[in-house]
Structure 1
Amino acid sequence: MKNEVQQLNAKTSMEDFISDRSMMREPLLGTSKGGLRTLPFILANEAFEKAASYGLLPNMILYLMGGYAIIPGARPCDESGSECTSWNIFQFTLLASSFALMSIGAGGIRSSSLAFGADQLLTRDDLGNAGILERFFNWYYFAASAAVVVALTLVVYIQEQFGWKVGFGVPVMLMLLSSLSFFLASPFYVKLKAKAGSFVSFAQVLIASWRKRSLHLSESADEVYYPKKGSRPTRPSDKLRFLNKACIVGNAQEELTPDGNASDPWRLCTIDQVEELKALIKVIPMWSTGVVMSVTISQTTFPVLQAGSMDRHIISYFEVPAGSFATFTIISILLWIGTYDRIIIPLAARIMGKPARLSVRKRMGIGLILSSMSMVVCAIIEGVRRETAIKEGFSDDPKGVTDMSAYWLLIHHMVSGMAEALFAVGQNEFFYSEFPKSMASVATNLYGVGMSVASLIASLIMSSIDSITSRDGKESWVSSNINKAHFDYYYWFLAGLSIVNFFYYLLCSRAYGPSLGEQNRFWDDEEIVNE
């Protein structure tokens, strides 16, 4: 039985090798699809969608609370806004459906466009290097950030100046442009054949490993493993060896069909499935360092309160709204990405006489250091602001505006923007480079998942600090009265947490071992759909 299985695997491996070689050569040498020419369309698709979505958010609450409606008949209040009637079920369904469609559409674009764009680059041998991939991730983040700035400034301004019909019509046109820009380049895209979801595959590996838990793993090469057509690995890696049981063929007659497929995918998995789960488990510690980083990035409410209690005048009759100060973080991201890609890297290459770039993990580490520094800057500025407010008699007046310039906060926003640009771009590139090609979408969504988890952790941290510091009738560090609170202590706590996270990152990076990101990535077991 074992010889039959080995013969079957040898035959399959030879067929897979030939198929794999042809799949590598075809996209590299014999096709006109993919490449740099497709990227402007993909970046435009993401940028227009971002501008449309974020352009709706700031004033949406005002629209819902006011007496305005774009669709005839969906008007809960009269023109004066003094007499309002309850929404009927049709109006509520219409509103909820529009929000649901926006969320589904945005989720579809944001979860796949980054991986889809990277797929276009890795089809040609002259683009199969880490430098090109790094530049793509940089400019992708640049386009998305620039779109947010446009949304929070120009689109919001149009809504305020020209009303809801024109103001909400602009995002509609932006979404139409987003769709048009994407489909214009459709004939030139590299399109990979869809496959089953990764999370189902992960569940199959875990269950198959559990069902074979009594199986003994031999140190010799006696085990027969189940390969997948089109894949090159013939043996699983030695790390997390208990998962290898899922791909061991124990009884070929029971576990394999006559054509060589698994008769029960919940009992026998491929080597690729096992390695994909191992890759995900392996990056979890590195991913967790980004969660703590995102906790500091998510501190957007308190800086608004700080700016609101400081002098925000640029000239005597114009002042920047407190809520707009967060835009400086995005501007910092744009400036840093542009400067790094167009000035620093070319200058370093000229000085060194060879291509120069910071590795992904170095960029992530520098981002974590800058994140800590941004919290230190915030703590120092808040300490001075609080002392100034008390001296000027605003101790009991949280709405009082001090003579201290709010533009000291630009130091925090600029450092925070640099930190986010380095870490976010670096971590996305790291995940994409380390995961198998079949997990590209999972790789490019891990950073977003980390930010979501960070928002929950940030809320938990703030609630805990509020509960602990307000005991015995004391004023909470995060009291609603910013002049009696101690937000500076709160920022020092986050700075300390960030420093600890940096050393944790160093340990995780050392334990992770060598990266695969510098190596070229091929199509593995993916198939290109010709249209």
Structure 2
Amino acid sequence: MEIENTSDEKKMEQPQQQSPSKKTKGWPHNHAIHYSCEIQSSTNEALEKVASYGLLPNMILYLMGDYHIGIAQGTNILFFWSAATNFLPVIGAFVSDSYLGRFLTIGFGSISSFLGIVLLWLTAMIPQARPPPCNQFKEKCKTPTSPQYAVLISCFALMSIGAGGIRPCSLAFGTDQLNNRNRPKKESDIVLEKFFNWYFAATATSIVIAFTGIVYVQDHAGWKVGFGVPTILMFLSALFFFLASSLYVKQKATVSVFTGFAQVIVVAYKNRKSSFPSQNSNLGYHQKKGSSLSQPTNKLRFLNKACIIQNPQDITPDGEASNPWALCTVEQVEALKSLIRVMPLWSTSIMMSINISQGSFQLLQAKSMDRHITSGFQYPAGSFGMFTIIGAVIWIGLYDRVIIPLATKIRGKPVKIEIKTRMGLGLLCSFIAMAVSAIVEHVRRKEALASGYLNNPGEWWPCRPCGSCHSIS
């Protein structure tokens, strides 16, 4: 009997001894694997940004020159492309959290972006994919046919879908690779900090390369090579991502935070006629197990009805709601309230985004100027967006290392400019920038019309930055 008990005990102990390995199955145990996955995650998005951002600056010239699309229509097309690229990551995040998981979402996005860029490259390679060439100043050019428009829009749609899959998941997917439960918390914090530093450094570097290198290639080697380089980069991005598939930590999809927001809205509407529980009532608010929030705040009080316990039977024995579309937790309600509270702050960036989205006009404005830095080098018009990045970097450095320390030294106590004040100053600078741009364009256009530049565009040198134009004769 003792032998049987011993064997039974061993059988009972065996799963417990194996559980740690099962628990950590798939988690990298080698630092080299950790960092290779981390680097690959950052590289994937960096290459995608080089490819996509490198196409945007000069795209209006491609639409006007090769597709004979007017500036207004071309600007609208690029605006909708940019809007879709910025909005689809919200949908991509929802799909990733609820259904596919981050790995599959990034993989799908990489393939979609690659197909979109390949299709765009083919429009430059195949003459039948665009209208026949013509001189826009001497004859009326043919506009794109419906199939040609369809191919062009498909390029932008595929690239936007790809960005919607890659951008919301890359950072979180990178942290998944480093979230090792066996590592001490202090060491994990250091590793994550290094990852964030390298991630944002790679992102910034990719944008700089896109605004300089890719634009320069397009200006000097033409559209075939200019679109071919981003195609190769996107191919390498997808290839490297899938080659390292076996090394990745792949988290399963869970309930999305957006689903929780929708549940709060639906349940609050259903319970809109319900009264709030009194202090003497046995019913109260449903809270997540182990949470310190016992009841919701009084702000946006109408949402609190989503977590009122109408019937004790709505709670399962383990403390969960039997139907999440009939009863929410206090945490879900407060999360939605937090989102609503920051919306006014987000809305302040709408006008800023409108100003930033005027890139096509600024490109054409810069194109009409003499951009020669030396006799042998001309600064690309599509790279003028670099001044925005350079200005931001300089301002951050001055603010953190010069302005704040100097103000602290003068006042004799710590000085800090509030975030809302800094946002207001940023909006003011944005307003001044647009006003200056309007004045420059007024002067430039006036000089061009007075010099006959509009009627004889082929007989005049491009305008110099000071606004004057010079005749060939």
Shorter-chain TM range is 0.5 to 0.7
Q: Greater relative contact order (Cα 8 A, min sep 6): structure 1 or 2?
A: 1
List aligned pairs for 1:396-475, cutoff 5 A: 405=466
Match of 2:168 among 86, 111, 114: 111
CA–CA separation in structure 1 for the residues paired with 2:438 and 2:153: 41
1:443-480 Cα deviation digits (max 9, x unpaired): xxxxxxxxxxxxxxxxxxxxxxxxxxxxxxxxxxxxxx
CA–CA separation in structure 2 for the residues paired with 1:50 and 1:271: 39
8 Å contact kept, 2:268–2:303 = yes
Structure 2 match to 1:284: 343
- Post-superposition offset of 1:139: 5.2
Match of 2:425 among 362, 365, 369: 369
CA–CA separation in structure 1 for the residues paired with 2:143 and 2:436: 50
8 Å contact kept, 1:236–1:274 = no
CA–CA separation in structure 1 for the residues paired with 2:444 and 2:156: 44
Is residue 227 of structure 2 the alignment partner of residue 168 of structure 1? yes
5+ residue gaps, structure 2, are 1-18, 70-120, 455-459, 468-473
Structure 1 match to 2:6: none
Structure 1 match to 2:75: none
Structure 1 match to 2:353: 294
CA–CA separation in structure 2 for the residues paired with 1:112 and 1:394: 50
- Post-superposition offset of 1:49: 0.4
- 1:55 partner amino acid: G
- Post-superposition offset of 1:52: 1.4
5+ residue gaps, structure 1, are 1-21, 407-531
1:205-252 Cα deviation digits (max 9, x unpaired): 1221232232223357954443446x6345243243432322222212
Is residue 207 of structure 2 the alignment partner of residue 151 of structure 1? no
Structure 2 match to 1:203: 262
Structure 2 match to 1:312: 371
8 Å contact kept, 2:368–2:464 = no
CA–CA separation in structure 2 for the residues paired with 1:365 and 1:140: 29
Structure 2 match to 1:50: 49
8 Å contact kept, 2:131–2:145 = no
Match of 2:277 among 200, 209, 217: 217
Is residue 384 of structure 2 the alignment partner of residue 330 of structure 1? no
- Post-superposition offset of 1:372: 2.5
List aligned pairs for 1:17-416, cutoff 5 A: 32=29, 38-57=37-56, 58-59=58-59, 60-61=62-63, 62-64=65-67, 69=123, 75=129, 96-117=153-174, 125-126=185-186, 140-159=199-218, 161-183=220-242, 186=245, 189=248, 191-213=250-272, 214-219=274-279, 222-228=282-288, 232-233=291-292, 235-238=294-297, 239-253=299-313, 255-256=314-315, 261-300=320-359, 303-304=362-363, 307=366, 312-316=371-375, 318-333=377-392, 344=401, 362=418, 365-366=421-422, 368-373=424-429, 375-376=431-432, 379=435, 405=466
Question: Are the structure 2 counterparts of residues 31 and 244 from structure 1 closer, same or farther at C-alpha, using a change threshold of 3 Å?
Answer: farther
- 1:176 partner amino acid: F
CA–CA separation in structure 1 for the residues paired with 2:433 and 2:381: 18
Question: Are the structure 2 counterparts of residues 84 and 285 from structure 1 closer, same or farther at C-alpha, using a change threshold of 3 Å?
Answer: closer
CA–CA separation in structure 1 for the residues paired with 2:439 and 2:130: 47
CA–CA separation in structure 2 for the residues paired with 1:100 and 1:232: 43
Matched residue SS, 1:262: coil
CA–CA separation in structure 1 for the residues paired with 2:205 and 2:175: 20
CA–CA separation in structure 2 for the residues paired with 1:92 and 1:135: 45
CA–CA separation in structure 1 for the residues paired with 2:204 and 2:156: 22
- Post-superposition offset of 1:279: 2.1
8 Å contact kept, 2:264–2:306 = yes
List aligned pairs for 1:481-520, cutoff 5 A: none
CA–CA separation in structure 2 for the residues paired with 1:77 and 1:395: 33
- Post-superposition offset of 1:109: 0.8
1:383-440 Cα deviation digits (max 9, x unpaired): 58967997x897686879776648xxxxxxxxxxxxxxxxxxxxxxxxxxxxxxxxxx
- 1:47 partner amino acid: A
CA–CA separation in structure 2 for the residues paired with 1:222 and 1:248: 11
Question: Are the structure 2 counterparts of residues 335 and 45 from structure 1 closer, same or farther at C-alpha, using a change threshold of 3 Å?
Answer: farther
Q: What is the TM-score when the length of structure 1 is the normalising length? A: 0.53
Matched residue SS, 2:373: strand
- Post-superposition offset of 1:48: 0.5
8 Å contact kept, 1:233–1:271 = no
- Post-superposition offset of 1:376: 3.4
CA–CA separation in structure 1 for the residues paired with 2:269 and 2:142: 61
Identity, % of aligned positions: 42
Question: Are the structure 2 counterparts of residues 75 and 247 from structure 1 closer, same or farther at C-alpha, using a change threshold of 3 Å?
Answer: closer
Question: Are the structure 2 counterparts of residues 379 and 397 from structure 1 closer, same or farther at C-alpha, using a change threshold of 3 Å?
Answer: farther
- 2:343 partner amino acid: I
Matched residue SS, 1:314: strand
- Post-superposition offset of 1:35: 6.8
Greater radius of gyration (CA): 2
Matched residue SS, 2:348: helix
Matched residue SS, 2:323: coil
- Post-superposition offset of 1:145: 3.8
CA–CA separation in structure 1 for the residues paired with 2:372 and 2:162: 40
